[in-house]
Structure formats: C-alpha cells, structure tokens
Amino acid sequence: MTTMVRKNVIRGHVDSASIHGVMAALGYQKIDQLPSWTLWSAAEVTSALINDPMFEVAPGPGPYAGDYGLMDHTMRSLAPIVSHSRPANSWLSKAENSVKKWAGRYPLIVKKAYDKVKEDQSFAGWLDYVVKNFLVEHSATLIGLFNPGFIPQLAVILNCSEKELRVVWNRSCDLKQVEEWSKKRPDTDDFRLAIDAYVIAALLRGRYHEYVSEAAGLQIIHHPLRYAILPAKKESIEFPLTNTEKYFVSIILAGALSEKKVEDRISLWASNVIEAKKAVITGRIDLSHKDSNSIAESLAVDAAKCLDLRIYSRLTTTVFDALSSVLVSGLVSFVLFAWHVTPWIGLPVGPGSTAAIRHMTAKGLGDRAASLLYQRRARLRDLARAVPGRITGRWC
C-alpha cells in the first residue's frame, strides 16, 4: 500500500445533522418511506464511521449529560467514538463572524439556496419527520429553533423585521409552544416564520461547520440538506466503496431495524458500528472488493458472524435485500473536496479523480502514467491519509 508523505493522519467528523439523519432512518417502519437524504445520511455515516479509522462523531454544542431526548440517547450510545477534541474558541468565533458577514453580504444567494433545498424531492419528507420528531429536542438543546445571533441576517433573507423575528425566536424557546407547533402545525405566520428561520439557520450552520473544519484541518461529512449552501470546491478525489463494504453496511442497518423501539434500534446500530470499527482497525475482517456480488455478500455475512454482531433472527430478508439493492447499485463513492489546492502525493486514486491525477502527473488522462494511477483504487481507509476537506457521497 502506498503511503503519503504526511506526518499526521487526518481526523474526520460527522456533523450532528447527519447523526439526526441516522436517527430518522431508524425511526421509519418501512425502507421505501425514507427520503433520499435520510437514506444517504444513514449509509454514509455508517460507512465512514466503520471504514475510516479516524472518523468520529463531532462533539455536541455542550455536555450531553443534561441534553434532551433521543439525541442524548444516541450520543451516549456512540460515546466511544464521539470526538473529545473541540476546536479552539478563536476558530469558532472567526467562523461565526465569517458566516454572518457572508450571509449579510449575499442574502439573495442564501435565499436561492433555500429555494433550491425546498424544491428537492427529499425536502417535504425530511421536514415532516423533523417537525414531528426533532423540533422540541432541537429547541431544548440549542435554546430556540434558530440561532439568535443570526437574526439580523435572517430578517433580511426572510424579508421581515428583526423585532418580529426575535419575538418568534422567544416563542421558539418555550418547549410547550414548540410541542404545540410540532403536533398541530398551525396555519399561522409565526409558525411558518419559525420553520423558515429554522431551516435557513440549519443551512448557515453547515457553512459555519465548514469554516471550523477548514481552520482545524479536519475532514467533515455534512447532511445533504446543507450541500446547496456550501462553498464550491474544484479539487476532488474519489474513494470508491467496495461491494463488500456496502453489503456489510446493509447488514448493520437492517439488523438495527429488526428492533421494535427506536431507542433500541439506535443502541444496536451504535454498538455494531463501534465493534465493526474496532475490527476494521485491527484487520479482523475483510471487506475488500469482490468481482462477484454474491461472493461479496457472503463475505459481509461472514464478517458479521466473525464479530458476533447482535443482528438477531428477526432480521428479515426483505429489509436486507431492499437496503443492499439500493446501496450496492446506488452508493458509488465518497468524494473528498480539498480545502486548498494540493498535490495528492502518493495516494491511489479511483474512477472520476481526474483533478487528482493531473496534479500528481502534470498530465491528462490520456497519458500512460496517468492511466496506471487511474487503475489503482483508493479505499475508504485511505481517507485518513489524504488531506483535510469536505466529504460527500456520490450516488447514481
């Protein structure tokens, strides 16, 4: 295996919105009910946490001992792989100021990003689940449905007064009020404004996490909701998933869905992810690519048996078949967008990594040397030997 000329490996973080995506995926009764964003989050988070030894769950905004609801349970279940390192306060402050400055200067760009998000076929299903299941938790955890520091920018974007928006924010800090909104979804101006501000603030926080990760030299996985507002990056390289990895992820998710209660599903998912991650790091299981999908499936099942994962006999063939069918045919790779233009020294590259090949060889794909590099497949475990940047899943 080639090694990069780098002193340190790169740590990666999964943002809290993506963890909520996993929680949502495990809350549905049927696989075909999942919005695409939710399925993507569940598959990508599970894949990254298992297969990249340096990927962790981003620490929460505060200690989770006193936090609210299902997120508290999830973070406790994931405790061994929740990051203990927090970015410097100076980075956090700089990132927040940068977001405010950017949003204040380009409110129309933010508005267009929001409009684009609302047009996505996943949006309605995503928002419906969030309002029903996460709204109260969000208000309790972060104090209100949106960041009060963003009110000046949100007021311009939403074409309302700061005073009006602050009144709505104050109401959104009242958990009884938020619970009523969650249950009744009233046809009122304040509820609509609260939800609009909630979603736009979630978009802006994505850009905030992007700036913090760049300053800290981290890799980060965002929830697909946030893609529309993130800065464009030209330099990228792909890390294909093996068919065995995709079958193994399907086993983990399908096994969790065999439980009846959402809390038990999350506990089982987290436990199996943690055990699988240990096994990948120590080399106990083989999730390499196989020419035959049937062989890859058998290898994934053998890996689960080797680890004695708690999957249970209630794991139905239907759930596993549905998940594996979507993942094996749909999830192609992880794409790493570097924060800065960089030569991708010594890293094997996969299909689609033309920019990286040109940087390494100073030649195009037609050159024989580039073609030889092109044939060498990167693996998810190689992410830690790459460079800091944003990671997104590529689905076909």
Q: So where are the chain's domains?
A: 1-86+232-396, 89-229
pLDDT by residue (tens digit) across 344-377?
544 544 444 433 333 333 333 333 332 333 334 6
Residue 87: pLDDT band (50, 70, 90) is: confident
3-state SS of 280-320 is: HHHCCCCCCCCCCHHHHHHHHHHHHHHCCCCCCCCCCHHHH
Question: What pLDDT does 61 receive?
Answer: 54
pLDDT at 67: 55
Q: 177 pLDDT exceeds 50?
A: yes
The more confident residue out of 245 and 63 is 245
CA-atom Rg of the chain in angstroms: 21
| Residues 301-336: tens digit of each pLDDT | 999 999 988 775 555 678 889 999 999 999 999 999
Query: Which amino acid, residue 383?
Result: L
* 339, 389 Cβ separation under 8 angstroms: yes
Q: Do the beta carbons of residue 57 and residue 287 sit within 8 Å?
A: no
Q: According to the model, what pLDDT value does residue 200 have?
A: 98
Q: Which residue has the higher pLDDT, 32 or 188?
A: 188
In this prediction, residues 151-168 reach a mean pLDDT of 98
- The 10s digit of each residue's pLDDT in 164-173 is 999 999 999 9
Query: pTM, whole model, 2 decimals?
Result: 0.89
Q: Is 137:180 a contact under the CB 8 Å cutoff?
A: no
The better pLDDT of the pair 6, 293 is held by 293
Supply the pLDDT for residue 314.
54
How many C-beta neighbours within 10 Å does residue 93 have? 10
pLDDT(101) > 50? yes
Share of the chain above pLDDT 90, in %: 73
For residue 347, the model assigns a pLDDT of: 53
DSSP state of 231: P
pLDDT of 159 over the 60 cut:
yes
- Tell me the per-residue pLDDT of 111-154, one tens digit each, with 9 for 90 and over: 999 999 999 999 999 999 999 999 999 999 889 999 999 999 99
- Measure the CA angle with vertex 72, ends 69 and 77; round to 5°: 130
The per-residue pLDDT for 361 is: 32
Residues contacting residue 267 through CB under 8 Å, at least 6 positions apart? 73, 77
CA distance 51 to 383: 9
- Asked if the model's pLDDT at residue 285 lies above 70, the reply is yes
Q: In this structure, are residues 282 and 39 in contact, taking their beta carbons and an 8 Å threshold?
A: no
Backbone CA torsion sign across 380, 385, 391, 395: negative
CA distance 284 to 229: 40
Q: pLDDT tens across 35-61, in order?
A: 999 999 999 999 999 999 999 999 865
The better pLDDT of the pair 363, 12 is held by 12
The mean pLDDT value of the chain amounts to 87
